[in-house]
Amino acid sequence: MKKFFVIPFILIYTLIFAPCIAQDTKDYQTFTYFQDDSTELLLDLFISNSADTIAPLVIFMHGGGFSGGNRSYGREFCRFLSENGIHAATISYTLYMKNKNFSCDGILTEKIKAIQMAAYQGRIATQWFIEHADSLRIDTTLIFLAGSSAGAEAVLQAAFWDTTAVNFFPDTLSPSFVYAGLISGAGALIDINMINECNSIPTILFHGTCDPLVPYYIGPHHYCSQIASGYMMMFGSLAIHEKQESLNQSSQLMSYCNEGHEHAATGFGTPGKFEVLDFIQKIISGEHFYIHRIFKNSKECKMGLDFVFCYEP
């Protein structure tokens, strides 16, 4: 059954990641989850306040256009989850686009490689947690992925990419493994057909309808011209939500009318983190839902985009 809510909402962010950054307290453990001759990847793990029992796990991937940002952006969000009975980790990954161009005049194959590499490393981190599940008391049937902006693109691809067909990297996860759910802040898929009845999992999606970087519905990444070298079509949160409905899968979409990419961070700060916690608790309890919440803003969309989503249901 569909549920629609229209909520008056005015939210101003000065920085995309501001809700995710707070004064840090060393109440987490840092681990190396991958290392070879040239690369060391770290994660910060916040242990649930119910550490004496097996707990769910959320793995968070930060934003930054695959060229910047770091795992500290996710610490406050992970701390919040740990205080509410959930293990949570924020991870580093290779910033493949550092000193490269991830926009319209970039190189398409390099952009795709950056997404694939980050997605793959998210899956490596997942495998590391599975291998250490007993000592860390992780419920491996309740592992969630979460990401903001580039991190959201990474976790969406990590969850839905057919790694048997696209073996850019050797997959480390068992073919039988399935994530419990996915939390996306202004993310998108390269191909909506990545989601199918075999791999569909519950999602909660946060997105501004006038996001100029990652399309809210269907459009080019950064709204590039078709003749741009970095032209890449993407399927954003509304397209994913509609696909989930067609598969009768649980999904919750948080649409912010006429607002932009700042909502990449909304699900990981206040008040969005409470929606995420509620989403996780719904999944744990086995609830099935399909919810679209629309937050109205009186300002006009000034991005010049063709698709402006703001309606009365």
Residue 126 belongs to a domain? yes
Whole-number Å distance between alpha carbons of 212 and 227: 18
In this prediction, residue 286 has a pLDDT band, given cuts at 50, 70 and 90, of very high
Q: Do 265 and 18 touch, CB atoms closer than 8 A?
A: yes
Scanning the structure block, which residue is given the tokens 């992925």?
A: 145
Residue 187: which CATH number? 3.40.50.1820
Residue 276 belongs to a domain? yes
Query: CA torsion sign, 14 to 157 to 35 to 174?
Result: positive
Residue 310 belongs to a domain? no
Residue 307 belongs to a domain? no
> In the chain, how many domains are there?
1
Residue 207 belongs to a domain? yes
Q: What is the chain's mean pLDDT, rounded?
A: 88
Residue 175 belongs to a domain? yes
In this predicted structure, the answer to whether residue 159 has a pLDDT above a threshold of 60 is yes
Residue 278 belongs to a domain? yes
Q: Tell me the per-residue pLDDT of 229-266, one tens digit each, with 9 for 90 and over.
A: 999 999 999 999 999 999 999 999 999 988 899 999 99
CA proximity to 236, closest of 261, 217, 209, 211: 217
Boundaries of domain holding 59 = 2-296
In this predicted structure, the answer to whether residue 14 has a pLDDT above a threshold of 70 is no
Residue 33, number of CB atoms within 10 A of its CB? 23
Integer-rounded Cα Rg, in Å, for the chain is 18
Residue 309 belongs to a domain? no
